[in-house]
Chain A
Amino acid sequence: KNEVEQSPQNLTAQEGEFITINCSYSVGISALHWLQQHPGGGIVSLFMLSSGKKKHGRLIATINIQEKHSSLHITASHPRDSAVYICAVLPMDSNYQLIWGAGTKLIIKP
């Protein structure tokens, strides 16, 4: 069993829909990282969080430490949001290595 699991693996939605991507993990963590990777390779950091909720524009990330679960929401989705969204966790006993999820491929159709 992977230590970090994302769901769904693939998601196709219509422009304007509310999107939720989930990340579950099995280890104790210091923080959780959400990143975005567009076609062409570049990876961009979206959020780093250890409790509660963070918001940036149309993106919202939440985390429930007790349930070992985080969600990334996109409101009013747009085709430019099409990308792979990756979740990674920093285990409590680590200062260097993140444990990576496999990513969720999101396609937003106009």
Chain B
Amino acid sequence: DVKVTQSSRYLVKRTGEKVFLECVQDMDHENMFWYRQDPGLGLRLIYFSYDVKMKEKGDIPEGYSVSREKKERFSLILESASTNQTSMYLCASSLYPKRSGALSYEQYFGPGTRLTVT
């Protein structure tokens, strides 16, 4: 079974702090994703990465950065946390569909990190 783990289930940080959220997958997936989920808004893509050191902005990248130094690990960084970044953060991984076909593109999710910024 694919396993995607996230470093924390719950996190409370103060405004202005630098926050690191880590995600690790064990299935040798090329693609990794960071989403945030807010009530009534569904899943919104922050950043994704299709290879080591490669990243692409998603729909809402402002206020976030990412790092992918190793294939299995994808980090989301909040440079200076703000209260409007209080949210559920979900990491996911998938195979690269061009290599493996569109049906291999199932995204596998971690348990999520509920971040509160006070």
Contacts and interface: CB of A to CB of B under 8 A. Distances in A.
Interface in A15-55: 30-31, 33, 35, 41-45, 48-50
B6 to A, nearest CB: 10
Nearest to B45: A97
Interface in B77-118: 88, 90, 92, 96-98, 102-109, 111-112, 114
Nearest to B50: A96
B12 interface: no
A35 B109 CA distance: 10
B43 A95 contact: no
Contacts of A48: 102-106
A41 B114 CA distance: 9
A96 B114 CA distance: 25
B17 interface: no
- Size category of the A interface is 20 to 34
B109 A44 contact: yes
A107 interface: no
B69 interface: no
Nearest to A43: B109
B61 interface: no
A60 interface: no
Interface in A61-104: 86, 88, 90, 95-98, 100-103
The 7 A-B residue pairs with the shortest CB-CB distance in the complex, in nearest-first order: A30-B102, A41-B112, A43-B109, A31-B102, A48-B106, A45-B106, A102-B42
6 contacts: A30-B102, A31-B105, A35-B107, A45-B108, A45-B109, A49-B103
Given A30-B105, A41-B112, A96-B48, 19 more contacts: A31-B103, A31-B105, A33-B105, A41-B37, A41-B88, A42-B111, A45-B109, A48-B102, A48-B103, A48-B104, A49-B103, A86-B42, A86-B43, A95-B97, A95-B98, A96-B31, A97-B45, A97-B48, A100-B42
